[in-house]
Amino acid sequence: MARSTTPRGEAAKLSRGFSWLAVLGVILVVAGLVGLIYTGLATLTSMVLFGWLLLIGGLVGLLHAVQARHTNFFWLGVVVAALNIAAGVVVLKTPEASAEALAMFAALLFLTGGLFRLVGSLVVRGPQFGWTLVQGAFGLLLGVLVLGNWPSTSQYVIGTFLSLSLLFDGLGLIATGYGGRRIVGMVSDRLAGEETARAPGEGPRGGHRAAKPVQPE
């Protein structure tokens, strides 16, 4: 009996896990949509979260460096932790200026990345020539648009990127949860069918064998 109930129990646990994964995906999708509507608030929220991550990461790194003070990497760990703590404090104190600097950095990344892809696609002309050319042109155009209207673009660039990331991550989690539940349901139905076929009294696979006649002595 334990063998027949264990697969069903595991299937139920997997199904619940995939359900919670889909619920998390729905929450991320809602957060992404709200962020796309209120991009300014999403930008400030992302910068505050980024500052706290830097600050907490710096404190944890400093603690690890103190614990490893007898090693050769002590001072390197202290310097990196101090830089993270200082950057976190600066971001938390001036989130708007930090968003402007981060938007400038993102625009320069788009410009350089788009330019390299554009030139590389024209020089190499590989099998993905068209797709690489489109990616390079899009990155270059996006960098020009962000940099051309800077610093006013910093109010919504970071928030838009964060909201789009949450939206697509949430859609991926919803698809994974829904697909996982379907697969678990199919496997559970198949196991139930096999258990029904192996029920007692259904033949040689049922576990009951015909009794042999007793020979008289």
Per-residue HEC secondary structure of the chain comes to CHHHHHHHHHHHHHHHHHHHHHHHHHHHHHHHHHHHHCHHHHHHHHHHHHHHHHHHHHHHHHHHHHHCCCCCCHHHHHHHHHHHHHHHHHHHHCHHHHHHHHHHHHHHHHHHHHHHHHHHHHHHCCCCHHHHHHHHHHHHHHHHHHHHCCCHHHHCHHHHHHHHHHHHHHHHHHHHHHHHHHHHHHHHHHHHHHHHHCCCCCCCCCCCCCCCCCCCC
**pLDDT at residue 3 greater than cutoff 50:** no
Instruction: Name the burial class of residue 189, with classes exposed (0-12), middle (13-18) and buried (19+) by CB atoms within 10 angstroms of its CB.
Output: exposed
Residues 6+ apart with CB under 8 A from 149: none
**pLDDT at residue 161 greater than cutoff 70:** yes
Among candidate residues 32, 12, 10, the one with its CA nearest the CA of residue 20: 12
Give the side-chain half-sphere CA count within 13 A for 42.
22
Average pLDDT over residues 181-199: 67
How many whole angstroms separate alpha carbon 64 and alpha carbon 100? 32
**pLDDT interval class at 162 (50, 70, 90):** confident
**Residue 193: both structure tokens together:** 């069918």
**pLDDT interval class at 50 (50, 70, 90):** confident
**pLDDT at residue 20 greater than cutoff 60:** yes
**pLDDT interval class at 96 (50, 70, 90):** confident
How many whole angstroms separate alpha carbon 155 and alpha carbon 100? 8
CB atoms within 10 A of CB 79: 12
**pLDDT interval class at 1 (50, 70, 90):** very low
Report which residue type is found at 28. L
pLDDT in the model for residue 2: 43
Q: Which residue has the tokens 């990196």?
A: 80
pLDDT in the model for residue 181: 75
- Top-confidence residue, 195 or 145: 145
What mean pLDDT value characterizes the chain?
A: 75
